[in-house]
């Protein structure tokens, strides 16, 4: 698809920002998202090309306004719901429960 | 799962906890496997692996020949294998060509030798511009490539993973492999820097 | 069944190549001049817009790999040859580019036409 992910040759996608001595992860949630990739892939529910396409389908503004590991999280949620492994309603309910417990 | 927080969780933190907890409860994911993978890629796999490959290639012409002919096999000789490095190609900087790596479509990167990619490598800014204006982007990294030297950009659109074999800096003749490896930076193996002698 | 920590670490260090052990006659060889097809599929594809319709030279021939366009659609692996195609920067970007510079992009057989 001719999506925003196909960046090659575009102008205006912001300044190049290079962080010195950058850590591997910036937040604990990034660690968890990264660590989930292989175990979820090992479930055999989707392949890497479907995973990439799920990121491409997230839409231009969402793609540009979220970070790399948020892209991964979006793809996990999208594909696991589409494939029937999880229900959107149970994800939403669990989010609401966690928000209440930790607010 | 700890609920002992001194600030409300962000939406993304909540979503991650929700996802992981549901998958663990359903028996689909083992949290210990998640922990082990984080530990592996945060502490064990990283650009020091690639630096060993480069230093070996500088020291051993036969190894360098194998590395350029079959990167995957030669890198595996040093024990570096796995996810996002299943099919490796090493491209050599020469007197007339400087190589630089990008993935314009996502953020493909050779994990076994370089570890996980830095944020700038994954940024739309780098991915969009390095194919269009490589010399301008390299200049922003402080690397000026003379006009008579070719810049060759490798866009990793497939499952081939690329890594640059940088030039060995002058004045390092007779150095041991470990000394050489200590000079090699991640950025030099992506191609946005050169390896320099410590006295430079 | 969830994979445990030993299985996860072993799977990570093993990886999963998308190379396919299937003998298929290659349409192109290193040095051949090619043109990238001007295709605009709505599904997943790995042919970036900036090379569509452009002329290149086969720089490397990698052998047979899974085709992502069909694989992403659960429409099969459609194994085919993968190449590295070398474009002059001027072919892609015009006169503003340094005449020496190149961009090399991996392309599957289905993206390529002979010249």
B128 carries an active-site annotation = no
pLDDT at C110 over 50: yes
Chains touching C by CB (3 or more pairs below 8 Å): A, B
| Percent above pLDDT 90 for chain B | 94
Three-state DSSP class for C88? strand
In C1-115, where does DSSP find H-type helix? 5-14, 68-71, 89-93
Residue B21 annotated in active site = no
The SS3 assignment for A99 reads helix
Across chain B, mean pLDDT equals 96
Q: Express each pLDDT in C36-90 by its tens digit.
A: 999 999 999 999 999 999 999 999 999 999 999 999 999 999 999 999 999 999 9
- The answer to whether residue A1 is domain-embedded is no
The nearest alpha carbon in chain C to A48 belongs to C72
Is A19 within a domain? no
Q: In the numeric block, which tokens belong to residue C62?
A: 């990698």
What is the pLDDT at residue B5?
53
DSSP state of C100: T
> Is A58 within the bounds of a domain?
yes
* Domain boundaries, position A93: 28-102
Residue A38, min C-alpha distance to chain C (Å)? 7
> Is this prediction's ipTM beyond 0.90?
yes
C9: Cβ contacts below 8 Å, ≥ 6 apart = B36, B37, B40
Quick one: average pLDDT of B116-132? Answer: 98
> What's the structural domain count of chain A?
1
Q: Does residue B3 have a pLDDT over 70? A: no
**Are B93 and B167 within 8 A, CB to CB?**
yes
**Which residue of chain B comes nearest to C89, CA vs CA?**
B132
The larger pLDDT score, comparing residue B198 to residue A30, is at A30
Q: What is the pLDDT of residues B20-63, one digit of tens each?
A: 999 999 999 999 999 999 999 999 999 999 999 999 999 999 99
Which residue in the set B14, B35, B126 is minimally distant from A99, CB to CB?
Answer: B14
Phi, psi (rounded to 5 degrees) for C64: -100, 130
Say if A35 falls within a structural domain. Answer: yes
C67 vs B: CB within 8 A: no
As a whole number of angstroms, the distance between CA B35 and CA A22 comes to 21
- Residue C94 touches chain B, beta carbons under 8 Å: no
Residue B1 — very low, low, confident or very high, per pLDDT cuts 50/70/90?
very low
Q: Is the pLDDT of residue B4 over 60?
A: no
Q: Which residues contact B117 (CB under 8 A, 6 or more apart)?
A: B107, B109
Quick check: B180 pLDDT over 60? Answer: yes
Let me know: does B136 contact B144? Beta carbons within 8 Å: no
DSSP string, chain B: -----SSPPPHHHHHHHHHHHHHHHTTS--HHHHHHHHHIIIIISSHHHHHHHHHHHHH-HHHHHHHHH-HHHHHHHTT---TT-SEEEEEE--SSEEEEEE-SSS----HHHH-SPPHHHHSHHHHHHHHH-HHHHHHHTT-PPPTTSEEEEEE--SSEEEEEEPPPPTT-TT--HHHHHHH--HHHHHTSS----TT-
pLDDT confidence of residue B200: 79
Give SS3 for C47: coil
Q: Decide if A99 and B9 are in contact by the 8 Å CB cutoff.
A: yes
Confidence at residue C1, expressed as pLDDT on a 0 to 100 scale? 77
Strands C55-65 and C33-36, bridge-based pairing: antiparallel
Domain with residue A93: its CATH number is 1.10.472.20
C-contacting residues in A 58-97 (Cβ below 8 Å):
none
Q: Which CATH architecture has domain C18-114?
A: Roll (2.30)
Rounded Cα–Cα distance for residues B15 and B5 (Å): 16
Structural domains of chain B, with CATH: 11-43 (no CATH), 46-190 (3.90.330.10)
Beta bridge partners of C36: C112
Q: Which two tokens stand for residue B158?
A: 């497939």
* Chain mean pLDDT for chain A: 97
């Amino acid at each position: 698809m001719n999506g925003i992910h196909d960046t090659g040759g575009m102008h205006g996608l912001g300044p190049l920002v290079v962080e010195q001595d950058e850590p591997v992860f910036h937040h604990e949630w990034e660690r968890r998202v990264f660590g989930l990739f292989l175990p979820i892939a090992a479930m055999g529910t989707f392949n890497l090309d479907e995973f990439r396409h799920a990121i491409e389908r997230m839409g231009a503004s969402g793609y540009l306004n979220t970070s790399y590991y948020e892209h991964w999280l979006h793809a996990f949620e999208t594909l696991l719901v589409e494939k029937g492994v999880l229900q959107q309603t149970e994800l939403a309910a669990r989010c609401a429960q966690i928000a209440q417990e930790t607010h | 799962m700890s609920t002992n927080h001194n600030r409300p969780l962000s939406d993304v933190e909540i979503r991650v906890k929700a996802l992981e907890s549901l998958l663990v409860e359903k028996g689909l994911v083992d949290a210990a496997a998640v922990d082990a993978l984080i530990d592996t890629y945060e502490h064990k796999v990283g650009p020091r692996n690639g630096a060993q490959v480069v230093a070996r290639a500088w020291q051993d012409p036969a190894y360098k020949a194998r590395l350029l002919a079959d990167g995957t096999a030669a890198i595996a000789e040093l024990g570096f294998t796995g996810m996002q490095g299943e099919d490796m190609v090493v491209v050599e900087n020469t007197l007339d060509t400087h190589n630089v790596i990008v993935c314009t479509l996502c953020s493909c990167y050779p994990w076994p030798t370089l570890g996980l990619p830095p944020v700038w490598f994954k940024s739309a800014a780098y991915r969009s511009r390095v194919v269009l204006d490589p010399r301008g982007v390299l200049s922003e990294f402080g690397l000026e490539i003379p006009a008579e030297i070719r810049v060759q950009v490798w866009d990793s659109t497939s499952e081939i993973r690329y890594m640059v074999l940088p030039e060995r800096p002058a004045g390092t003749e007779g150095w041991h492999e470990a000394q050489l490896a200590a000079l090699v930076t991640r950025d030099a193996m992506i191609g946005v820097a050169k390896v320099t002698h410590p006295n430079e | 069944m969830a994979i445990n920590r030993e299985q996860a670490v072993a799977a990570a260090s093993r990886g999963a190549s998308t190379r396919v052990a299937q003998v298929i006659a290659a349409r192109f060889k290193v040095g051949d001049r090619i043109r990238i097809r001007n295709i605009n599929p709505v599904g997943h594809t790995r042919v970036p817009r900036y090379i569509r319709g452009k002329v290149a030279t086969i720089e490397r021939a990698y052998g047979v790999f899974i085709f992502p366009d069909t694989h992403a659609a659960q429409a099969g692996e459609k194994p085919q040859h993968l190449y590295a195609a070398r474009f002059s920067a001027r072919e892609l970007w015009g006169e503003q580019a340094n005449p020496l510079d190149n961009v090399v992009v991996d392309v599957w057989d289905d993206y390529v036409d002979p010249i």
